[in-house]
Structure 1
């Protein structure tokens, strides 16, 4: 049964990745990811979430890392291939995340406070960096920060701080290792955020 749930999750993720790939190809100023990149990546992430759900993750929460995993793959592809985080993905993430977190708040009331605090913290810090030095932070990163802060803040405000530090450190290490600037920052934000929502400290 455990393996069957993982297989179903992976198959659903593969299909979701295919839809995401079509969206990227057809979007205004879209990108064309290599064949099967999105499908395999989303399939793997959704398989992990399916296993977590089978191991006890509440179903009212599982939708959050599923959505974030899908979004993380598509945005990472955009940032790597085109050096941008498109509005067609970052802006709709706000209302969708709001609905999922509202459902979660019914089962875990503390989620609401963390969501608001996390969104303000992540967005506020990134906006401040953007205002102080526009070359250090892209507008897409700022738009993404609010929704990421909301979903990670639902786990805990400490998780938001950890994700922010991990994102900054990862980008810095990548820039030093590659010996160039202009490193896409989106993937460094999305990876730890997905991990934080997929492996929260509560069942």
Structure 2
């Protein structure tokens, strides 16, 4: 115990956990690294689960879970218990779920950006769920498609185009036939048209 230092700074924490890492290696214990990092950075629920995991490894006994809900090392459970008006905004959610010590230990911009995007996605999903649960609070109106009355289709059975073609293709007797003209009593008279006489003098 003399090798451990009292303090809450990041350097002291890393030094103490390196001592614990040597102890775990001698005892052939393999705790989950995410639990260690969550405990170092004071993630919600990480320390409780870590103690439970170490107790199970040292005693080979199974104990009742401290928290029945799934832990993701965020303040999601705490936020769900708050009323909607008191829940965090997107910027506040980033500040609450990403500790400064995480950035100091892992200054990789790409990894930190992935963490920020994951927190924003979680925040947006919570907001969408809130809108679905209480649409009146957000003054959400139904779209025209949602307000439309759905009725069964009353379309008549389609008529085959072949039947229409057959009806249109009824043979019509030709009037040019002399036999049919005689039976129908149709007679044509030849009309003679006289052409106008040309002017004998030139207009120009």
TM over 0.5: no
Name the structure, 1 or 2, with higher relative contact order (CA <8 Å, separation 6+). 1
Normalised TM-score (structure 1): 0.25
The answer to which structure has the higher helix fraction is: 1
Normalised TM-score (structure 2): 0.25
